[in-house]
Amino acid sequence: MNRREFALGAMALAMPAAEPKYRVIDAQVHVWVNDPRYPWAPETKDPPKVDRAPAMLLDLMKANGVERTVIAQYIGYLWDNRYALDSIRKYAPTFMGVCRVNPTDPAAPDQLSRLTEQGFHGVRISPAANAGGDWINGSLMPPLWKRAEALKVPMQVYTPITRIPDLVHLIEQCSDLTVVVDHMADCPVDQPQELNKLIALARFPRVFVKISHTWSISRQPYPWLDAQEHVRRLYAAYGPERLMWASDWPVDLGWTTYPQTLSVVRDDMKFLNAEDKSWMLARTAERVWPFP
């Protein structure tokens, strides 16, 4: 080895290893538009006045290095999934979609089959904490969950932390179903013991958790260190391979900015290493949603 080769080798050893390359995936956004072709559900008494269309989101994604995104059906349309579906098709392959079906309708499993055939990959349910959400323990739930299992699409659940134990009997009946719990179940930061309900689900290997809403549950300014304690505990229980980042745009705009929803995970969760981030910002979502 000559002097030049030796010097180049020494330089290579001294340089820090490059961070792994991966495409950042946002595991949940919503889109909507005020357009008579896509009417609001009759139950939506105060629909948003400002449109949040995919083109607006695409600008944010490009500016922040986000390559793929999961659109979750906006609740204002209830079970009319057409706008989400049209958005997915128009901007393919950037988006994948999660639909909604009426969980109190016996025909919901068949509706899910049709929506999956049309292009959706997953279904979202939102049982409320009060008696209005008691259908989660009713007789119509096992058929819907088993249909999602048979279709090999994830069951996405947005529910308060107090409802999390109600998922156990359904998860136990569907061992091959991927279940995604949204937004850390919005566990309040001043009730850290409640997070144990979500941590208890880590024993089921096909349960995943979205690391999102740090900004809404926190009582501190960015980087929301009190909410980061929830993330740290979930990280210890689930590992990064079952946690995923989501912005929940445009809901986030009531508290923060799209860039901050990303940077809190990418830059300001100091307990994460580069490998952890590759899972939480990309690879976990790719396990659940098979983006091309």
Write out pLDDT tens, residues 69-118: 999 999 999 999 999 999 999 999 999 999 999 999 999 999 999 999 99
Is there a domain that residue 13 lies in?
Answer: no
Number of separate domains in the chain:
1
pTM (predicted TM-score):
0.92
Confidence at residue 21, expressed as pLDDT on a 0 to 100 scale: 83
SS3 assignment, position 97: strand
Q: Which of 284, 286, 101 is nearest to 210 (CA)?
A: 284
Distance CA 284, CA 277 (A): 10
Has residue 132 been placed in a domain? yes
- Specify if 267 maps to a domain: yes
Extended strands (E) in the chain: 24-29, 66-72, 95-100, 123-125, 155-157, 179-181, 207-211, 243-245
Q: Is residue 2 part of a domain?
A: no
Scanning the structure block, which residue is given the tokens 């629909």?
47
Residue type, 177: L
Q: Tell whether 175 is covered by a domain.
A: yes
3-state secondary structure of 206: coil
- In this predicted structure, what is the pLDDT of residue 8? 40
- 5 in a domain, yes or no? no
For residue 10, pLDDT beyond 90? no
pLDDT tens across 221-277, in order?
A: 999 999 999 999 999 999 999 999 999 999 999 999 999 999 999 999 999 999 999
- CATH code: domain of residue 174: 3.20.20.140
Domain contains 160: yes
Between CA 147 and CA 111 the distance in angstroms is 10
- 235 is in which domain, residue-wise? 21-288
